Structure 1
């Protein structure tokens, strides 16, 4: 699982990158086998004017080629990162669950078909 963090227009970007990387590892660590890459984009839209202008966008590429994209806007970048990490955990969990259920359903169907007695 590769985590890439990009920060644009933020002072002290190193701290934000470290925080985002830690939160992604915690949020998606249990899905390590299903996740290919995680890209985190952090930016300050308005610059020094302030306000609810801190943006965090996370793009998760799963190994089955599906994408999960979550973004959040707020005034405190640490809170925004935390909120997005929670949301991405829920979304990836749901997506991986769907894939696993579909795979189990296909396996059961094939197994059931193989166990049916042939018609005479």
Structure 2
């Protein structure tokens, strides 16, 4: 996973970029194989003036085969903003991957949201195959009974 850090109205030192990259990577490590890139945007909403919740961290994750996901967190310090945004992104990716997992329903059939349109056609095809197989068995049984 590649983490790119951008800063606006915040001095962008190498140490800051390394710290932010490591903090975000640490929190999102579980999704390493699922993500292609992460962009972190740091900004100071009030520029050089002090103020409550004026540090902003936006994280944009790019999951493989899906649209980008973006979260934002504002806090009074840069550390809290980065940690809050990383936590929000963790929850967003957790939610996305949870929806993508194939689940077994109580009836024993598979629920695969990615293939929902195809799954109905697949279910119909399996029912048709079962029906034709039973019809073939009944026809053979009728011939034997004659």
TM range (shorter): 0.7 to 0.9
- Structure 2: 5+ residue stretches without partners: 104-109, 136-146
Partner of 1:33: 33
Listed one character per residue, the Cα deviations across residues 16-68 of structure 1 (whole Å, up to 9, x for unaligned) are 32222112211211111111110000011212211121111011111022221
- The answer as to whether partners of 2:24 and 2:82 remain within 8 angstroms in 1 is no
Q: What's the Cα RMSD here?
A: 2.6
Q: SS in structure 2 opposite 1:42?
A: strand
Distance 2:15 2:125 in 1: 56
**Count, aligned residues:** 119
Secondary structure of 2:102 counterpart:
helix
Higher relative contact order (CA 8 A, sep 6+): 1
Q: Return 5+ residue gaps in structure 1 as ranges.
A: none
Residue pair 1:7, 1:13 contacting (<8 A) in 2 also: no
Q: CA deviation at 1:114?
A: 4.3
- With normalisation by structure 2, the TM-score equals 0.69
